[in-house]
Structure 1
Amino acid sequence: MPLPTSHGLDGSASSSSSSSSSNGRAGPISVDDLVAKQAAGNQLKPRFLSKKERQEQAEKAKREEEEQRKAREDERGPYSSGHTNGSSLPTGPRADRQAMPPPQRPASATPSTSSTAASSSSSTSDATLTEAEQALIRAKYLGLKEKHQKKTRRQLNDKKTMFGYDDNDDTSDTVNPVFQSVAPIKGLKMGGTEEESPRLTASGRTNSKALQTFSSPAHWSHKTVEEMKERDWRIFREDFGISARGGHIPRPLRSWEESDIPQEILHAIQTMGYTDPSPIQRQAIPIGLKERDLIGIAETGSGKTASFVIPMLSYISRLPRLDETNRHLGPYALILAPTRELAQQIQVETARFTSVLGYNCISIVGGRDMNEQAVDMAKGAEIVIATPGRLKDCVDRHVVVLGQCAYVVMDEADRMVNLGFEEVLNYILDSLPVSNVKPDTEEAELGGDALNENMGVVGEGGRRYRVTMLYSATMPASVDRMARKYLRRPATITIGDANQAVGTVVQTVEFLNGEDKKKSRLYQILASGFEPPIIIFSTTRQSVDSLSKDILRKGYSCTTLHAGKTQDQREEALAALRSGESPILVATDLAGRGIDVPDVSLVINFSMPTMFESYIHRIGRTGRAGKKGHAITFLESTDEEWYYDLKQELARSPVSTVPRELERHPASQQRMTREMLKRKRDDE
């Protein structure tokens, strides 16, 4: 079988194959063709080079490239390279470069005749320039920068005086002498004949005191009322924690003598021993004297009673005296209180004023015979203090008539609403005459005699617009709704922080679990020497009665007060506490609000109340009228609901401290609701 013909790259092989194919049969393969074919195949195959061989090839290629570069430089000549004396010159085609003569050297290196002439001409031109100008030119064009010595700064502990300027900064020697002397301008004076006028004229000396007062930094207590500026009044309100809004707010009282209170009432105030007005009295009395409606929000024990009684007496003094002709029309003023005790307390405070001024005031409360109250009303009374429930019964039975009532005060309105008297209050206020209701216009904000001009002549049977005041510790929606309905453009006063205890009560908290531990600690406190009277609060009637019996067994005299007592028993208990016959009173929250017992030195919360607001009113029985008081509270593990609020209250007090156990307790870190406490107890 003949071998196949392979086509190679050699020409002989292709010719032999063509000749053999022309003969019709295949000839033998040439050895040369076979060797050439194998050599060509070996050249196409990749050959592995060792690292040493690769380095040798790279060095060889580098040497060849360097030799070629040197050969090209030798062909160009000495001045045809890219660098000649540090200056770069452009090059042309190779033929031109070979024929180009060497470039001339720079003139600065080889001075010539022309350069000498040029330098001589320039030197003559530079002769007109000063040395300073030449230095500036050199500095500008040569880029020279003068080195200035850094100024040293005075260190905090360096006692040597260092000034911020040195002698080089003095520019007085460069001032143009032309501008050193200023020529006087005669045209601005009277032909240049007017002499220099004195600094202070007679009128200037007269007004100098007023100008000095305008910018005087003295405190408001060292100024007269005329010297007080708006800034001083703002500081005055901030000092006493007074916040007022409502438009056209009169300025507060600085003292009783600077007020517009009628002289007979002012004399009664001095007779009763009032020294300085309380914060709410400072702002509420001027508003009341303007016969404006008022909303007062103040902390407990702030002297609210006198703040509305004094303007009320001023209002009544402008009305006709009660006699046989108008006595049957009812009282001029009405004061509503939530409890019998508070109503009787207001009556006692008001009677101190009315006894001096010749007016009559009575109280209408539950627990008393209505026939006796009817007899008192028949005698006539300018002021009636009543509880809502008993007053409604008297109005329904025509025992009390409100035909000429023109001054209404609702004290502790939020508590009356909480006790369910909202509908009763609306009934009483709707029973008042509507002929003297103020118009809901800006005139109601101005108040005063200008508002009452169209109501008749005062003192001759005339009438005046009704004044309505509402005092409350908080402003829930129901109280706000009542104020919007019955008050006209009222002024709102907030004293301090509402619903906060006074800053004169030192509050102490003790953790005691169990009745026995709390009673043992109670006896230790009673024996520690606190001055009477002392009030002890508990939650229920049964606990009050049980605790009072235990105290009596220990040899202490005490009395009780709760809702299960009759009116006579309540009055006897309060009278015994005030007189000192019983130095200790054990009571429920009935005595926690509106009861004013003077000089209470200590309040003990034997158990926490069901509402934290009641805690504020409990401890408000002490520390009244600016005096210092103490309040001690016994806490149990079941009182975790109030830990957070109690911690916040102690932190706000300027005279109290938060105990470490309460501060770190987990329940005091956030407010615990009853649902959260119930879930926690279920998990335990």
Structure 2
Amino acid sequence: MEVDQKDGILVNDREVQAIKERYMGAERKKRKIRRMADKKFVFDWDAMDDTSQDFNPIYSSRHDAQLFGRGHIAGFDIQQQKRERSQFYSTLMESRRTLEEKERAEELVERHRKREQRERWDDRHWSEKPLDQMRERDWRILKEDFNISTKGGDIPNPMRSWAESTLMPEILRIIDANGYKEPTAIQRQAIPIGLQNRDIIGIAETGSGKTASFVIPMLTFIAELPRISEENQMNGPYALILAPTRELALQIEQETHKFAKPMGYHCVAIVGGHAMEEQAFNLRNGAEIVIATPGRLKDCLDRRILVLGQCTYVVMDEADRMIDMGFENDVNYILDQLPVDNKKPDDDEEEKLVDLGGRIRRYRQTVMFSATMPPAVERMTRKYLRRPATVTIGTAGKAVDTVEQRVELINGEEKKKNRLLEILRSHEFEPPVIIFVNQKRGVDVLARALSKLGFNATTLHGGKTQEQREASLAQLKSGQVHYLVATDVAGRGIDVKDVSLVINYDMAKNIEDYTHRIGRTGRAGKQGVAITFLANTDEDVMYDLRQMLIKSPLSTVPPDLNRHEAAQSRGGTGKGGRKKDEIIY
């Protein structure tokens, strides 16, 4: 054997040593073991402990042997072979295709691309989409944009515009002639439900266009019935609208007249304060629509001046207010006078049955608008409404977001009067201005004081005759007087355009009346201001008032009210508080 002069070992032995090192690894030098001191950790370590290939070349040969051909078969890349094979077949197929086949393939690719584009998530706003491209998500966003919430099952989608509605062309022309450019939130949802001949419970902020939301479906309903003639006029009207106050009833009559007159329908208001003979004379030729207050209508029914033998559409506006004013028995008496043969059945399937002539039967339709749901209103709902759809705009019992609420703590009649004069003399607010006082005598006293100081003011309260009340409202609307001093009679349903300021000279006895008072301003989307004089005697409503100010985006809680003990927690109902079993709806 040859001898290597450098190492002094046989060549064969060297080969054996190399083979041994390749497969078994080189001999490790024994690591010097360091004794660890007691209670002391030694961080020294031997470099031979590092077995990484890139740092310690001792283990490189063994790793090279282990990693040879890793991920390959016989050293060939399978993925690369697949790519080359696919490219080969693609080139082969391309060379064999005819021109027609190529065009067909391009057409299929383009069709697939367009389908994917349609199915892809569409982030356009609902207002930018055609009606047939609206998805469930778009309808949900529309409801959120207008703060619409519904319950009751099987609710139709809201209207996006008048043009897209299913209303009669004649009604659409009347809507355009009256200047209704876009439907309000309550109209968008309540009208499609009303067109389905379905009972409705509507809850919406004041000044939101509730009247049109039940008048338009009502006229569509009446249009499918025979005309009032000498043969059927003695059976009474087709539609009945109940309102708690005379002013609200007359205002509803004015709005209804705008739609009913062009269609050839007759509407009559029956309210207190007018002679019974005069109202009987107005009904001599019959009427399709009657607007009434419960007390006067009950008197007409008792005297047989009017019957409800063919009434098929009933509206109760401000139902909770009617109950508060003591009209519960009168309302129940009136509703019991309605015919029972057109009452909706309790079963949904039975309602869908058709008459012998193949025409879908028209059942009685009942619509109720209410801000709260006390037990009496709930009982009425269960008794007279069938499977109603509930529409809520905004938050029930919440003031409109267009009203800035200012609260000032003032004790003493003289201080309140001086502060009132200071506000009126500042000319910060353009007339008309409404000032609310709790007592009728206080209304007259304050109005006389303002008139002596040069402020042309008029009054409105329950002690006035109907002619006087109508004259006061007409003067305010026409601009003859700039200031209206009123009780809560003017708090609900009164629509005076462009009221810039509402002053609560006396704080309302409960938060619901306060909400309706300040709702006389900030109507139809315009901005308004409400200033309230709060005294220590108003502790019953301080907590609710503070909560309402906190929720309002335009208002702030004054420090005096924020620190007041009565505003920290709801301390019982008191004389003006809400009843324990009354539910805000």
TM-score normalised by length of structure 1: 0.72
Equivalent positions of 1:515-594 (< 5 A) are: 515-529=413-427, 530-594=429-493
Partner in structure 2 of residue 128 of structure 1: 19
Letter in 1 for 2:117: Q
CA distance in 2, matches of 1:345, 1:552: 27
Equivalent positions of 1:280-319 (< 5 A) are: 280-319=186-225
Mean CA deviation greater in 400-409 or 194-203: 194-203
CA distance in 2, matches of 1:403, 1:649: 45
Unaligned runs of 5+ in 1: 1-118, 151-170, 678-684
Q: After superposition, what is the alpha-carbon deviation per residue over 1:625-657, rounded to whole angstroms, capped at 9, x for unaligned?
A: 111111000111222222221111111111112
Q: After superposition, what is the alpha-carbon deviation per residue over 1:592-618, rounded to whole angstroms, capped at 9, x for unaligned?
A: 111111111110000111112110000
1:146 CA drift (Å): 4.2
Partner in structure 1 of residue 81 of structure 2: 181
1:465 aligns with 2:348: no
Structure 2 vs 1, CA of residues 525 and 198 (structure 1 numbering), >3 Å: closer, same or farther?
farther
Q: After superposition, what is the alpha-carbon deviation per residue over 1:146-195, rounded to whole angstroms, capped at 9, x for unaligned?
A: 47999xxxxxxxxxxxxxxxxxxxx9996533422116479x99x97875
Partner in structure 2 of residue 643 of structure 1: 542
CA distance in 1, matches of 2:54, 2:293: 90
Q: How many residues align?
A: 529
Determine which structure has greater relative contact order: mean sequence separation of CA pairs < 8 Å that are 6+ residues apart, divided by chain length.
2
Residue 267 of structure 1: which of 163, 173, 178 is its match? 173
Identity among equivalent positions (%) equals: 54
Equivalent positions of 1:395-406 (< 5 A) are: 395-406=301-312
Partner in structure 1 of residue 248 of structure 2: 342
Q: Is the 8 A contact 2:405 2:530 kept in 1?
A: yes
Letter in 2 for 1:471: F
Structure 2 vs 1, CA of residues 207 and 333 (structure 1 numbering), >3 Å: closer, same or farther?
farther
Residue 145 of structure 1: which of 50, 59, 79 is its match? 50
Q: Is the 8 A contact 2:404 2:554 kept in 1?
A: yes
CA distance in 2, matches of 1:577, 1:550: 18
Report the structure number with the largest CA radius of gyration: 1
Partner in structure 2 of residue 454 of structure 1: 355
CA distance in 1, matches of 2:575, 2:275: 49
Q: Is the 8 A contact 1:452 1:465 kept in 2?
A: no
CA distance in 2, matches of 1:517, 1:538: 15
Partner in structure 1 of residue 402 of structure 2: 504
In angstroms, what is the RMSD of aligned CA positions?
3.3
1:659 CA drift (Å): 1.9
Structure 2 vs 1, CA of residues 178 and 667 (structure 1 numbering), >3 Å: closer, same or farther?
same
Partner in structure 2 of residue 237 of structure 1: 143
1:333 aligns with 2:239: yes
Q: Is the 8 A contact 2:197 2:362 kept in 1?
A: no
1:621 CA drift (Å): 0.5
Letter in 2 for 1:487: L
TM-score normalised by length of structure 2: 0.83
CA distance in 1, matches of 2:273, 2:570: 41
Structure 2 vs 1, CA of residues 120 and 201 (structure 1 numbering), >3 Å: closer, same or farther?
closer
1:668 aligns with 2:574: no
Structure 2 vs 1, CA of residues 133 and 487 (structure 1 numbering), >3 Å: closer, same or farther?
farther
CA distance in 1, matches of 2:291, 2:246: 10
CA distance in 2, matches of 1:211, 1:279: 35
CA distance in 1, matches of 2:29, 2:177: 97
Q: After superposition, what is the alpha-carbon deviation per residue over 1:116-153, rounded to whole angstroms, capped at 9, x for unaligned?
A: xxx999976663367597379999xx983347999xxx
Letter in 1 for 2:410: L
Unaligned runs of 5+ in 2: 1-9, 31-46, 56-66, 577-585
Partner in structure 1 of residue 380 of structure 2: 482
1:391 CA drift (Å): 0.9
Letter in 2 for 1:665: H
Q: After superposition, what is the alpha-carbon deviation per residue over 1:247-305, rounded to whole angstroms, capped at 9, x for unaligned?
A: 11100011111111111001000000011111111000000111111111112221111
Letter in 2 for 1:364: I
CA distance in 2, matches of 1:345, 1:676: 31
Equivalent positions of 1:49-448 (< 5 A) are: 127-128=18-19, 131=22, 134=25, 144-146=49-51, 176=72, 177-179=76-78, 180-182=80-82, 184=85, 201-202=106-107, 205=110, 211-214=116-119, 215-443=121-349
Q: After superposition, what is the alpha-carbon deviation per residue over 1:648-683, rounded to whole angstroms, capped at 9, x for unaligned?
A: 111111111222222233332212336699xxxxxx
- SS for the counterpart of 2:234 is helix
CA distance in 1, matches of 2:416, 2:494: 25
Letter in 2 for 1:653: S
Q: After superposition, what is the alpha-carbon deviation per residue over 1:416-456, rounded to whole angstroms, capped at 9, x for unaligned?
A: 11122222211111111111112222248xx8xxx473285
